[in-house]
């Protein structure tokens, strides 16, 4: 029986969900699942949908891995050391499987979409039952069904191009929701593994996106984050083409009290129309995260980013001409292969010119399977660390100065929790995505409040409830 299950000809996911639910219902108590999503917000959002599939099958959830009948790791491939951590975790839970042979151990996501990882898993981690690549939303129910039917090891690392819709999510927050609008990437930046593991760009239809957001807003969600590897190339692959700004304008028509954010956007697709849409639409958060990665044209070329520093600065100028205080943040890679001191100086110059409110900076980390991993690199690690410290110091200085512009202003804040550092105070985010700490009470969590800003620091602004 074990060898006769054809993974290509399994019943539909819906049928598999029903069959597994009936199988699990025979157990004396409700089986529990432990799910951990590593990596980016897209992975977290997919993890919420995977939880939805497990819930439909009849699983409850636990944070205690030792209590679980099913363990699912939804992995990330961006950094190699994150992969090492997953292998370490899998090694450490081997004894749980020995103690409980009925435990189902499943690994999915970008890491397992790589053939060499799946090969390693099959050969050396034989306690793993199910391995799926980036198509877990399509395949999870079927693979658990195959396992239920007696298949010892089920594997599918093929990237499926269809996007499963109408999947319920088990959302972690009751007021902030992430909504993927597209999957995959066509860009092949030379440092990035994503196009190899997530396939080419596939956009969800505007109808599905708008219906999901309308439901969220009707259910009290106040912040919707649109997700994709390159959100502003949305719609190019659709039969009825639609641009990203057109999608934003359609979403903006949904009545209610909410903000729309998005990430990540690519400077090569950041059009004046997109900037105008952000400025003109009432629900659009007044903040743009525009990853520049480097301030040097030769480095941008080696990264295959397909824009120049001059083009990037003209986009910044366009939006700042219309809104001088407009909030911009970015991603920067320090120490890309053979980045010279001159290249790095140009990055510092760009940061001084744009004056970001915040940045996410990373020391370049070599990623097997990418083009950049083959590039010569003569810059010592100690030099890269020093450059990082210089960049962080510059950004700290700029953030301190930028944040002073809020002092004395009264702003809307979406309250998201209690301050960990100062008991009795609450925290939230402004439309610029600025961290705000203020006087308030826990019943404000998930609500918009008005705060008068009295102080600014390098990483947050503080004030009193109005
Ligand atoms: S745009 Fe570049 S960095 Fe972003 S996911 Fe695509 S290839 Fe990776």
pLDDT tens, N- to C-terminus, the chain (466 residues)? 445 678 888 999 999 999 999 999 999 999 999 999 998 888 999 999 999 999 999 999 999 999 999 999 999 988 777 888 899 999 999 999 999 989 999 999 999 999 999 999 999 999 999 999 999 999 999 999 999 999 988 899 988 878 888 888 999 999 999 999 999 999 999 999 999 999 999 999 999 999 999 999 999 999 999 999 999 999 999 999 999 999 999 999 999 999 999 999 999 999 999 999 999 999 999 999 999 999 999 999 999 999 999 999 999 999 999 999 999 999 999 999 999 999 999 999 999 999 999 999 999 999 989 999 999 999 999 999 999 999 999 999 999 999 999 999 999 999 999 999 898 899 999 999 999 999 999 999 999 999 999 999 999 999 999 9
- pLDDT value, residue 91: 92
DSSP state of 293: B
Does the beta carbon of 293 lie inside 6 Å of ligand 1? no
Does the beta carbon of 192 lie inside 6 Å of ligand 1? yes
Q: How far is the CA of 190 from the centre of ligand 1 (A)?
A: 9
Q: Is the pTM of this model over 0.95?
A: no
Instruction: Give the chain's length.
Output: 466
* The pair of three-digit structure tokens given for residue 296, joined into one six-digit string: 């040097």
- pLDDT value, residue 4: 65
Which of 43, 185, 330, 332 to probe ligand 1 with, by most ligand atoms within 8 A of CB?
185
- pLDDT value, residue 346: 98
d(CA 422, CA 118) in angstroms, rounded, equals 46
**Integer CA distances (angstroms), 338 to 187, 207, 356, in order:** 22, 46, 25
Q: Tell me the Cα Rg of the chain.
A: 23
Q: Which helix (H) or strand (E) holds 271?
A: none
d(CA 226, CA 262) in angstroms, rounded, equals 4
**Integer CA distances (angstroms), 300 to 193, 354, 372, in order:** 17, 17, 12
Does the beta carbon of 187 lie inside 6 Å of ligand 1? yes
d(CA 146, CA 5) in angstroms, rounded, equals 7
DSSP state of 205: P
Does the beta carbon of 54 lie inside 6 Å of ligand 1? no
d(CA 278, CA 458) in angstroms, rounded, equals 26
* The pair of three-digit structure tokens given for residue 14, joined into one six-digit string: 């819906």
Q: How far is the CA of 188 from the centre of ligand 1 (A)?
A: 6
Does the beta carbon of 303 lie inside 6 Å of ligand 1? no
Check: CB of residue 366 under 8 Å from CB of residue 372: yes
């Amino acid at each position: 029986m074990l060898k006769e299950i054809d993974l290509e000809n399994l019943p539909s996911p819906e049928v598999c969900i029903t069959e597994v639910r009936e199988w699990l219902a025979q157990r004396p108590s409700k089986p529990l699942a432990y799910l951990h999503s590593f990596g980016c917000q897209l992975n977290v959002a997919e993890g919420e949908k995977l939880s939805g599939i497990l819930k439909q099958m009849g699983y409850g959830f636990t944070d205690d891995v030792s209590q679980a009948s099913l363990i699912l790791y939804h992995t990330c491939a961006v950094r190699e050391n994150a992969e090492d951590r997953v292998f370490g975790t899998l090694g450490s839970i081997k004894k749980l499987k020995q103690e409980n042979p009925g435990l189902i151990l499943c690994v999915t996501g970008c890491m397992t979409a790589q053939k060499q990882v799946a090969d390693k898993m099959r050969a050396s981690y034989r306690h793993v039952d199910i391995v799926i690549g980036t198509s877990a939303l399509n395949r999870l129910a079927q693979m658990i069904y195959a396992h239920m039917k007696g298949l010892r090891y089920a594997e599918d690392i093929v990237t499926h191009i269809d996007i499963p819709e109408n999947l319920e999510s088990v959302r972690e927050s009751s007021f902030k929701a992430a909504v993927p609008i597209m999957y995959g990437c066509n860009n092949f930046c030379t440092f990035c593994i994503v196009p190899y593991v997530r396939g080419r760009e596939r956009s969800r239809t505007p109808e599905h996106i708008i219906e999901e957001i309308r439901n969220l807003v009707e259910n009290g969600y106040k912040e919707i984050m649109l997700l994709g590897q390159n959100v502003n190339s949305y719609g190019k692959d659709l039969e009825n083409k639609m641009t990203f700004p057109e999608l934003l304008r359609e979403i903006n028509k949904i009545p209610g009290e909410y903000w729309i954010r998005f990430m990540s956007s690519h400077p090569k697709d950041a059009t004046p129309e997109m900037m105008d849409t952000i400025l003109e639409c009432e629900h659009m958060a007044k903040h743009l995260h525009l990853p520049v990665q480097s301030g040097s044209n030769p480095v941008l070329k080696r990264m295959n980013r397909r824009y120049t520093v001059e083009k990037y600065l003209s986009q910044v100028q366009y939006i700042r001409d219309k809104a001088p205080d407009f909030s911009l943040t970015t991603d920067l890679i320090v120490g890309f292969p053979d980045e010279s001191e001159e290249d790095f100086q140009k990055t510092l110059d760009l940061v001084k010119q744009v004056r970001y409110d915040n940045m996410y900076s990373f020391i370049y980390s070599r990623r097997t399977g990418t083009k950049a991993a083959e590039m010569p690199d003569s810059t010592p690690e100690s030099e890269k660390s020093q450059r990082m410290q210089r960049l962080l110091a510059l950004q700290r200085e700029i953030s301190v100065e930028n944040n002073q512009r809020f002092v004395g202003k009264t702003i809307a804040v979406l309250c998201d929790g209690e301050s960990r550092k100062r008991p009795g105070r609450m925290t939230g985010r402004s439309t610029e995505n600025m961290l705000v700490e203020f006087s308030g009470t826990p019943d404000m969590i998930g609500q918009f409040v008005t705060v008068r800003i009295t102080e600014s620091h390098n990483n947050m602004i503080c004030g009193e409830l109005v």
